[in-house]
Copies of this chain bind each other. A is one copy, B any other.
Amino acid sequence: MGVFGVYNVKNASSIIYYALHALQHRGQQGAGIVTCDKENHDVFHRQKGLGLVHEIFNEKDLSELKGELGIGSVNYSNKSINGIENVLPVYFRHRSGNLAIANEGHLVNFPELQAYFEDKGVLFHTDTDSELLAQLIKKDNNPRARIYAIINALNMMEGGFTFVIMTKNRIYACRDKYGLKPLCVGKLGDGYVVSSESCAFDIIGATYIRDVEPGEILVMDHKGLHGEFYSQFKRHNMCSMEFIYYARPDSDIEGCNVHSYRKESGRRLYRECPADADIVVGVPDSSLSAAMGYAEESGIPYEMGLIKNKYIGRTFIEPTQEMREQGVKMKLSAIHSIVNGKRIVLVDDSIVRGTTCLKIIKLLRDAGATEVHVRIASPMMTHPCFYGVDTSTEEELLCSHRTLDEACQCIGADSLGYISPQSTLESGLGRSQICMACFTGEYFTTLYSHEKKK
């Protein structure tokens, strides 16, 4: 998921539209925008829907989303009955002032907090952390100092998260105290923007200022930009999967460009796991940077052996089982003339369950590859993530109960190599640490009811 906020910029809704388009890779199931129209009695306007950003909003929608304040979100919503309600931002009218909230990430104590409120008789409309935060904030009876309500609320939440909160005259940008999720702030004209990833800044013409700090609440209002820490416990345990797989290569996270990180990891991967081959092939799109790094370091030429055919939105007709059996392969296809007769180093960013990797290796062999050596630009994934990355349960992970050799056999590769945890850390400029719980099992938080599932 991805969040975005705009303070004091003309046509805020259009700015958010283009920014969400740039953040589309973080959530493709739904999107929403809420704006506050100061010239019209601080009325809040909202539009949201299921699908891709360009499928949800039309020009009329944007023109009706008036105002110079706004927040938006792209969503990775599940297929529950609350589908459309779960699309963020949530919005509440309340006598203490209107409130719109969007978030990214995952609270590990969500079930406990929800149970607490359900016991008190609260009816939940959504399954979102944002609604939970609204419940926590609303309990406080002193509307003049809403910042204290937010501080108290965030201190009850455990997990990896970012929140953007909009009131009629402020936007609050909050980041979890472990620094697990990214959030950065930029300047646009006389106003400010806040985004899950900096790649959105380049598109809208904004200038990056800095990352929101772990444990910080950054406030944008008539006094400008000013921060407040809701916790003295502050770490920089950024999720390593953001660098490895999730973020866009043109984003900078905690001072490190993602493409550069991946390329460096590819170079280190070669040094740690070399291979004797004719060409280097990356799995598109997220592994291309690592594959280039591998090629650069090894001197083995980088070639376009696999092509990804994009599904474009909800109107695209997916191949039926019958068509797939006839041979139609939309997701990935191997280029026969490049692959045929070649020994291949296949560079991928990570292996979760191994099923995709198995298929790709078969694709390459069917197209004539004589050898396929798999090199993974992250360590062996052995544990599930509880902070919002959609990996899998422990049982399903390829490497949770397998040795390297067993894993190699399982996916049908000629050889298999993973980068070391140490290199994963060192590929970035990392101030101190990054979260590698999915590789090491060292979670930075308590896990509450997830403990047993671990």
Residues of A near any B CB (own CB < 8 A): 9-11, 14-15, 17-18, 21-22, 34, 43-46, 48, 52, 54-55, 57-59, 62, 81-85, 91-95, 118, 121-125, 131, 134-135, 138-139, 188-189, 198-199, 202-206, 208, 248-250, 252, 257, 259-260, 263, 289, 292, 295-296, 301-304, 307, 309, 312-313, 315-317, 319-320, 322-323, 326-330, 333-338, 367
Query: A252: nearest residue on chain B (CB-CB)?
Result: B337
Please state if B95 and A118 are interface contacts (CB–CB under 8 Å).
yes
Please state if A121 and B138 are interface contacts (CB–CB under 8 Å).
yes
| A440 to B204 CA separation, bound complex (whole angstroms) | 41
- Kindly list chain B residues whose C-beta atoms are within 8 Å of the C-beta of A203: 309, 328-330, 333
Listed residue (A124, A125, A367) with the most chain B CB atoms within 10 angstroms of its CB: A125
Contact of A82 among B91, B134, B250, B289 (CB under 8 A): B91
- Kindly list chain B residues whose C-beta atoms are within 8 Å of the C-beta of A44: 81
| A199 to B296 CA separation, bound complex (whole angstroms) | 27
Query: A315: nearest residue on chain B (CB-CB)?
Result: B54
| A188 to B34 CA separation, bound complex (whole angstroms) | 44
- Kindly list chain B residues whose C-beta atoms are within 8 Å of the C-beta of A322: 11
Please state if A317 and B84 are interface contacts (CB–CB under 8 Å).
no
Q: List 26 A-B contacts (CB under 8 A).
A: A14-B317, A14-B320, A18-B323, A21-B309, A21-B330, A22-B309, A46-B81, A54-B312, A81-B93, A121-B139, A122-B123, A123-B134, A188-B327, A198-B337, A199-B307, A202-B334, A202-B335, A205-B329, A249-B304, A250-B338, A252-B337, A257-B335, A257-B337, A257-B338, A289-B304, A313-B313
| A215 to B357 CA separation, bound complex (whole angstroms) | 44
Taking A46-B82, A198-B337 as known contacts, 14 extra A-B pairs with beta carbons closer than 8 A to each other, sorted by chain A number, are A18-B319, A46-B81, A93-B124, A94-B118, A122-B122, A188-B326, A189-B326, A202-B334, A204-B327, A206-B327, A250-B304, A259-B303, A263-B303, A312-B312
- Kindly list chain B residues whose C-beta atoms are within 8 Å of the C-beta of A338: 250, 257, 259-260
- Kindly list chain B residues whose C-beta atoms are within 8 Å of the C-beta of A124: 92-93
Listed residue (A121, A123, A249, A333) with the most chain B CB atoms within 10 angstroms of its CB: A123
- Kindly list chain B residues whose C-beta atoms are within 8 Å of the C-beta of A198: 337
Q: Given A85-B85, A208-B336, A334-B202, are A326 and B10 also a contact pair (CB < 8 Å)?
A: yes
Shortest C-beta distance, A3 to chain B (Å), equals 19
Query: A90: nearest residue on chain B (CB-CB)?
Result: B125
- Kindly list chain B residues whose C-beta atoms are within 8 Å of the C-beta of A205: 326-329
Please state if A92 and B125 are interface contacts (CB–CB under 8 Å).
yes
| A304 to B252 CA separation, bound complex (whole angstroms) | 13
Query: A51: nearest residue on chain B (CB-CB)?
Result: B315
Please state if B121 and A15 are interface contacts (CB–CB under 8 Å).
no
Query: A35: nearest residue on chain B (CB-CB)?
Result: B81
- Kindly list chain B residues whose C-beta atoms are within 8 Å of the C-beta of A82: 46, 91, 93
Query: A299: nearest residue on chain B (CB-CB)?
Result: B296
- Kindly list chain B residues whose C-beta atoms are within 8 Å of the C-beta of A134: 123
Q: Given A93-B124, A335-B257, are A57 and B317 also a contact pair (CB < 8 Å)?
A: yes
Query: A21: nearest residue on chain B (CB-CB)?
Result: B309
- Kindly list chain B residues whose C-beta atoms are within 8 Å of the C-beta of A328: 14-15, 18, 203-205
Query: A83: nearest residue on chain B (CB-CB)?
Result: B46
Query: A22: nearest residue on chain B (CB-CB)?
Result: B309
- Kindly list chain B residues whose C-beta atoms are within 8 Å of the C-beta of A83: 46
Query: A84: nearest residue on chain B (CB-CB)?
Result: B84
| A273 to B81 CA separation, bound complex (whole angstroms) | 56
- Kindly list chain B residues whose C-beta atoms are within 8 Å of the C-beta of A367: 202
Contact of A55 among B18, B52, B315 (CB under 8 A): B315
| A85 to B100 CA separation, bound complex (whole angstroms) | 14
Shortest C-beta distance, A198 to chain B (Å), equals 8
Shortest C-beta distance, A340 to chain B (Å), equals 10
| A204 to B330 CA separation, bound complex (whole angstroms) | 8
- Kindly list chain B residues whose C-beta atoms are within 8 Å of the C-beta of A122: 122-123
